[in-house]
């Protein structure tokens, strides 16, 4: 076994060991935040049963990394809308089921008009219910104080103590998408070499149903921008995150190019398969390398250089005006790999178009 193979196995083992820890770390944060919020509500706000403070901290942090601070603000907004609506309804109408119905309806309607996310609507409705149902009227203000404490703890955890690395989040989503593209192209090449239609169907299915991966990339493009704007810890990475957002924006085009190539090569006559299969395997390998280290400058440079060579080979074999089928598919995938690898490579790819 060579050194490269040993190093590859070591990296794989380390990755498998880090995965459970990465999944547990948010749970640890949620537990600590809920406990701290409860302690603050008991000893600082002097609440005897501060059940909502730990719940608020837990709910605020119970969202994917990159959106926890925004979630805390939304939770607080929903509570404010619900309590304010219920207090006004009680002063105008008194108590009773009629007041409850009006308060809940108005609170939910206002929440939907202000911010239609589920957490805002749910907190507005439940805030109105709690305020009206408790006859003494103290639950509303106390719930508001608890919400402020829970949201504040969640913001401290998400924005100051443990803000996620925006580049790492975005590149992890990029890696998932690139791996699916590489798998689709490998299955297409395998189907051509074996003459088996089953891998061909799986290849097209894999590339056709990449909505989840691309949606996650898009979500994290937005989340990474919010993180660098609102987190002091990562503000210095604003330029890097902006550039990575530009690069990640090419992934949807790259996915479409891979689907076009897979469809073209699976429809190619057997007598003309040699070159398309070889190019498809090389392009799949480039995508696999990028997925393994999407943030490595050297890996991106090598992938862009090799993709540029493939694009040039395609043009040499066939003039641009005659590009079609697997040749056009390979050229498009190569150009989009260069676009993903960086802005300079993107300009070169578009000039060659």
Mean pLDDT, residues 108-117 taken together: 90
Number of C-beta neighbours around residue 76 at 10 A = 22
Residue 230 has pLDDT above 80, yes or no: no
pLDDT of residue 11: 45
pLDDT at residue 237 greater than cutoff 60: yes
With a CB cutoff of 8 Å and minimum separation 6, the contacts of 45 are 53, 142, 145, 146, 149
pLDDT at res. 254: 92
The residue behind tokens 């498998």 is 16
Q: Could you count the other beta carbons within 10 Å of the beta carbon of residue 25?
A: 12
Tell me the mean pLDDT in the region 42-71.
82
Euclidean distance between CA atoms 84 and 99, whole angstroms: 13
Q: Whose structure tokens read 């003494």?
A: 136
Instruction: With residue 6 as reference, give the H or E element that holds it.
Output: helix 3-43
**Domain final residue, candidates 126, 142, 161:** 161
Choice between 339 and 64, residue whose per-residue pLDDT is larger: 339
Helix/strand/coil percentages in the chain, nearest 5 = 85, 0, 15
The verdict on 181 and 257 lying in the same domain is: yes
Closest to 124 (Cα-Cα) out of 145, 95, 147: 147
Q: Which residues of 328-343 are buried (b: 16+ CB within 10 A; e: fewer)?
A: bbbbbbbbbbbbbbbe
Average pLDDT of the residues in 156-179: 86
> Are 223 and 335 in the same domain?
yes
Please tell me whether residues 150 and 280 are part of one structural domain. Answer: no
Q: Which domain holds residue 111?
A: 3-161
Inter-residue contact 25 to 45 (CB < 8 Å): no
Residues 236, 131, single domain; the answer is: no
Quote the CA–CA distance of 234 and 225 in Å, as a whole number.
10
Q: What is the pLDDT of residue 34?
A: 92
Domain count, the chain: 2
pLDDT at 3: 42
pLDDT band of 182, cuts 50, 70, 90: very high
Domain boundary among 127, 161, 195: 161
Tell me what pLDDT residue 352 has.
41
Three-state DSSP state, 45: coil
Residue 111, class by beta-carbon neighbours within 10 Å (0-12 exposed, 13-18 middle, 19+ buried)?
A: buried
Residues 215 and 345 in one domain: yes
Looking at the structure, tell me whether residues 141 and 117 fall in a common domain.
Answer: yes
Cα separation, 32 vs 65, whole angstroms: 16
Query: Do residues 334 and 307 touch, judged by C-beta distance below 8 A?
Result: yes
Q: Find the mean pLDDT for residues 230-249.
A: 82
Please give the DSSP secondary-structure letter assigned to residue 8: H
Quote the pLDDT of residue 288.
92
Q: Strand, helix or coil at 22?
A: helix
CA 217/CA 167 separation, integer angstroms: 12
Distance CA 146, CA 208 (A): 47
* Percent share of the chain, pLDDT over 70: 82
User: Do 221 and 248 contact (CB within 8 A), yes or no?
Assistant: yes
Quote the pLDDT of residue 108.
94
**What CATH number is attached to the domain comprising 268?**
1.20.58
d(CA 40, CA 29): 16
CA distance 265 to 185: 10
Whether residues 157 and 177 fall in one domain: no
Which of 283, 295, 292 minimizes the C-alpha distance to 338?
Answer: 283
In a shared domain, residues 237 and 121: no
Does position 103 have pLDDT exceeding 70, yes or no? yes
Please report the pLDDT score of residue 162 as a whole number. Answer: 84
| Confidence band of 23 (pLDDT split at 50, 70, 90) | confident
The confidence score (pLDDT) of residue 131 equals: 83
Residues 222, 249 share a domain = yes
Q: Is 351 a residue whose pLDDT tops 70? A: no
Helix axes 325-341 and 343-352, enclosed angle (nearest 10): 150
**How far apart, in whole angstroms, are the C-alpha atoms of residue 60 and residue 74?**
8
Residue 140 confidence (pLDDT): 65
pLDDT at 136: 57
Same domain flag for 82 and 157: yes
The span from the CA of 299 to the CA of 13, in Å, is 21
Query: What pTM value is reported for the model?
Result: 0.69
147 and 55 in contact (C-beta within 8 Å)?
no
Do 256 and 149 fall into the same domain? no
What confidence category does residue 272 fall into, taking pLDDT thresholds of 50, 70 and 90?
A: low
What local confidence, expressed as pLDDT, does residue 21 receive? 58
Can you give the pLDDT at residue 109? 94
Question: Which of 120, 141, 161 is the endpoint of a domain?
Answer: 161
- Summarize the confidence of residues 316-327 as an average pLDDT: 65
Task: Tell me the Cα Rg of the chain.
Answer: 27
Cβ pair 283, 330 in contact under 8 A: yes
Give me the pLDDT at residue 349, please: 39
Give the per-residue pLDDT at 17: 47
The proportion of the chain whose per-residue pLDDT surpasses 90, expressed as a percent, equals 18
Q: What is the pLDDT of residue 246?
A: 86
Above 50 in pLDDT, residue 344? Answer: no
Average pLDDT over the chain, rounded to an integer: 80
- Residue with the bigger pLDDT between 64 and 138: it is 64
The whole-number average pLDDT for the span 268-286 is 75
> Could you tell me where the DSSP H helices lie in 44-67?
52-61
In terms of pLDDT, which residue wins out, 29 or 191?
29
pLDDT surpasses 50 at 82? yes
Most confident of 110-119, 269-278, 320-329: 110-119
**Does residue 146 sit in the same domain as residue 179?**
no
Higher pLDDT, 1 or 54: 54
């Amino acid at each position: 076994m060579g050194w490269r193979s040993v190093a590859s196995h070591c990296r794989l083992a380390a990755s498998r060991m880090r995965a459970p820890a990465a999944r547990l770390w948010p749970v640890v944060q949620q537990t600590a935040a809920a406990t701290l919020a409860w302690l603050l509500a008991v000893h600082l706000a002097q609440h005897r049963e501060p059940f909502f403070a730990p719940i608020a901290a837990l709910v605020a942090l119970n969202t994917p990394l990159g959106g926890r601070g925004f979630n805390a603000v939304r939770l607080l907004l929903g509570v404010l809308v619900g309590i304010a609506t219920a207090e006004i309804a009680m002063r105008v109408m008194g108590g009773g089921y009629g007041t409850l119905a009006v308060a809940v309806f108005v609170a939910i309607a206002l929440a939907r008009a202000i911010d239609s996310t589920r957490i805002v609507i749910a907190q507005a409705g439940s805030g109105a219910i709690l305020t009206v149902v408790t006859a003494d009227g103290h639950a509303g203000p106390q719930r508001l104080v608890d919400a402020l404490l829970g949201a504040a703890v969640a913001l401290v955890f998400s924005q100051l103590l443990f803000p996620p690395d925006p580049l790492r989040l975005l590149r992890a989503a990029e890696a998932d998408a690139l791996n699916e593209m590489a798998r689709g192209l490998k299955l297409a090449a395998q189907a051509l070499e074996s003459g088996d239609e089953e891998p061909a169907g799986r290849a097209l299915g894999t590339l056709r149903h990449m909505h989840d991966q691309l949606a996650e990339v898009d979500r994290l493009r937005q989340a990474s921008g919010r993180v660098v704007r609102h987190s002091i810890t990562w503000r210095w990475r604003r330029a890097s995150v902006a550039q990575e957002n530009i690069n990640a924006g090419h992934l949807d085009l790259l996915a479409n190019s891979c689907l076009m190539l897979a469809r073209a090569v699976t429809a190619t006559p057997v007598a003309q398969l040699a070159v398309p299969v070889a190019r498809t395997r090389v392009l799949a390998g480039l995508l696999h390398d990028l997925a393994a280290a999407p943030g490595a400058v050297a890996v991106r440079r090598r992938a862009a250089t090799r993709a540029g060579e493939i694009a040039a080979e395609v043009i040499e074999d066939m003039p641009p005006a005659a590009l079609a089928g697997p040749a056009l598919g390979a050229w498009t995938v190569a150009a989009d790999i260069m676009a993903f690898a960086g802005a300079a490579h993107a300009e070169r790819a578009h000039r060659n178009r």
